[in-house]
Every structure is written in C-alpha cells, then in structure tokens.
Amino acid sequence: MPRLYSDDRNIDLYYALKLVRGFEDKVSVLHRQNKILGGVYSGRGQEAIVVGTVYDLGPEDWVFPIHRDLGVWLVRHTDPNKLMAQLMARKGGLSKGKDNWTHAGDADRNVFGATSMLGGTQPVACGVAWRFKLRGEPHVTVSYFGEGASSRGDVHEAMNFAGVHNLACVFVCENNQYAYSTPVNMEIAGGSVSDRASGYGFPGVKCNGNDLHEMLEVTREAVERAKAGRGPTLIEAVTYRIKGHSEHDRADYRTKDEVALWESKDPVVTWELFLEKLGVDLPKLRADVESKVKEVCDKAAEFALASPYPEGPEAMEDLYASPIGARG
C-alpha cells in the first residue's frame, strides 16, 4: 500500500496514529454541534490495533471493521472527504447519504461495511476467504469484534468454519475491557478470548493492543500463516476504551484511577517516545504532523458540509446491482 505521509515507515506510522485520532476528535466536535447523523463510537486509545492490523495488508486483502474502527478506513486510504460526508449522511458519502457510516463499506479499498449486530461480519469474512481458497488466490481477510461479541453464536460459527476449512482468516478481538458497561470479568469465564482458538484447531495469540510494534508483528505472522495456506489465527488485542461506549455515555461505571492507568499507556505517546529515542526531532515532527492532520480533517468537514443531502426519490436508486455487461 502507498504511504500516507512519509517514505520513512516509522514516521508514516506515527502519522497514521495521529490521523486516526485527529479525525475522530474532529468527528466528536462535529457530533456535539449536531452535524453528525447517528451514533459516534470513539476508538481513542485503540489506534495501535487498527493501524497495526491494516498498515501492511495488500490491496487485494479484505478488512471487516466495526463501529469503533473508523481508523481502518483511513489507513486503508479511503478518501477522508467521502468518509466525513458519510458521517453527515450527505450525497458525497460512500453510500450517497443513504445509511449510517458504520454500515457503509468502500469496495474500491476492500473495506466491508459493518452491521449493528456486532460479530455479524465474521461469517462474511469466512465467505470471502472461502472464495480465495476456491480460486487459489493468496489473499486474506481481517475481521474485528469486541470481547463482548466474542460470546455471540455467529462469531463461534465463523471461527469453527474457518478452522474446518483452513481458511485465510485473521480474527481480531479488540478486548477493551467493557461491552458497553459490562466489565470483562462478567463477560468471559476464564478471562481470555484467545484460549478459545484451540477448540477450533488454530492458534490464538494474546497481545498488547496498545503496542504498535507488537500489533504489527503479530499481524504479520498471522497474515503470513494464512497466505501460506496454514489457516486462521485469532488475535486478542488487549486494550482499553478511553471514552464511553458512545458520545452520550459518561461511563460512570469506571473509576478515575482505572481510566488514568490506561491513559498512561496511550499508544500515540508510546510511539512518540520510540521516535524520540531514535533521535527524531519530535516537537518539530509533531507540529508538522498535527498541522497536516488538521488540514485533512478541516477539508473533510468543509467538503461534507458543502455536500447536499440526498433527495427523497433517490431512496429508490441503487437497490439492485446493475447487470455485469451494463457496468461502467
């Protein structure tokens, strides 16, 4: 995939982290101004997961993000203008203003839209991987779900199917400690999602979801395994949801000490420390990157606000796929 900002991989990864966070911060502000249609679900503190699992994928690989994975689109090079317009339900958006952003995909970037029923896209990811196997194509699917959704039947069925048929699937569990307000100790007996993988006949890996180095390495191993025909991997990325479930959730069910502890493990700050140890002029780089991120986010908001809402009759368009011979 082309770089987002710099030919220097470490700096480009930093930009990716900052872009994901900056874009979400912009969306949060716009939501409070009543300019975003639908819910906003922050992935603040989880940026290392989306960047680490997407950054090195090939263009033919497919990704299946969920509601807290807005950064997947950005790292996958979806046009930020279209993404912001999607959030505002404008015609310039990915689905032409006809749906919430979490349900929209970007077929040009192989990003599959999520569903409100979290965990519902894991079987679809298996279907795409099944196609790869039937056609002998060396590609992989990467799909995401939370530790709460890991107890849903369709997630289990998907992993069982992937294990039986040795599919090129990477399942990423974002264990952020809470399924809305339910803490992980009341969700999972045994405390680990990754341990379940052995029951499906493939490896489960539990890793630090706030460590970008670790996320990149664990993902690389899982993708290489899948593309070599050795089957799926379940990655349990342990992280934390810094903000509430959504913008309207004050998250009073958590203690200040708990939140402060996890904020001290901020993946963006950790990467900045790494760059500083490499001898990078961090204050200068941070200023340059934040300026670029602000420019991207401001332009995206301007584009979206200038884009009209769809007209009523347009609801009857795009209901069916065009015949193959008629497609442009």
**Structure confidence by residue, pLDDT tens digits, 119-174:** 899 999 999 999 999 999 999 999 999 999 998 999 999 999 999 999 999 999 99
Q: How confident is the model at residue 326 (pLDDT cuts 50, 70, 90)?
A: low
Average pLDDT, the chain: 94
For the entire predicted model, the pTM comes to 0.95
CA distance readout (Å), 325 to 110, 321, 322, 328: 22, 11, 8, 8
pLDDT score for 63: 98
Instruction: Report d(CA 291, CA 218) in Å as an integer.
Output: 31
Tell me which of 101 and 222 has the higher pLDDT.
Answer: 222
User: How far is it, in rounded angstroms, from Cα 164 to Cα 202?
Assistant: 10
The residues near 301 (Cβ < 8 Å, ≥ 6 apart) are: 26, 30, 84
Query: Phi and psi (nearest 5°) for 155?
Result: -65, -45
pLDDT at 100: 80
Asked which of 47-56, 113-122, 275-284, 294-303 is least confident by mean pLDDT, the reply is 113-122
Q: Does the structure show a pLDDT above 90 at 295?
A: yes
Q: State what percent of residues in the chain have pLDDT above 70.
A: 98
CA distance 296 to 270: 24
pLDDT at site 241: 94
Cβ(262)–Cβ(240) below 8 Å: yes
Eight-state DSSP code of residue 307 = S
230: exposed, middle or buried (Cβ count in 10 Å: 0-12, 13-18, 19+)? middle
Quickly state the pLDDT bin for 328 (edges 50, 70, 90).
low
What is the rounded distance in angstroms from the CA atom of residue 315 to the CA atom of residue 128?
28
Is the per-residue pLDDT at 30 higher than 90?
Answer: yes
Which pLDDT score, from 0 to 100, does residue 320 have?
86
Token pair listed for 294: 């602000």
pLDDT in tens, 31-71: 999 999 888 999 999 999 999 999 999 999 999 999 999 99
d(CA 142, CA 66): 11
Read off the pLDDT of residues 74-99 as tens digits, 9 standing for 90 and up: 999 999 999 999 999 999 999 999 88
Residue 71's alpha-carbon distances to 43, 54, 141, 173, 253, in angstroms, are 8, 9, 17, 16, 26
- Cα distances (Å, whole numbers) of residue 35 to 42, 87, 88, 198, 217: 16, 9, 6, 46, 38
Q: Which whole number is the average pLDDT over 218-239?
A: 98
Please report which residue ranges of the chain form alpha helices under DSSP H.
9-32, 47-54, 70-75, 80-87, 122-135, 153-164, 212-227, 256-263, 267-277, 282-306
pLDDT of res. 46? 97
**204-208 and 169-175 as β-strands: parallel, antiparallel, unpaired?**
unpaired
CATH superfamily of 9-326: Thiamin diphosphate (ThDP)-binding fold, Pyr/PP domains (3.40.50.970)
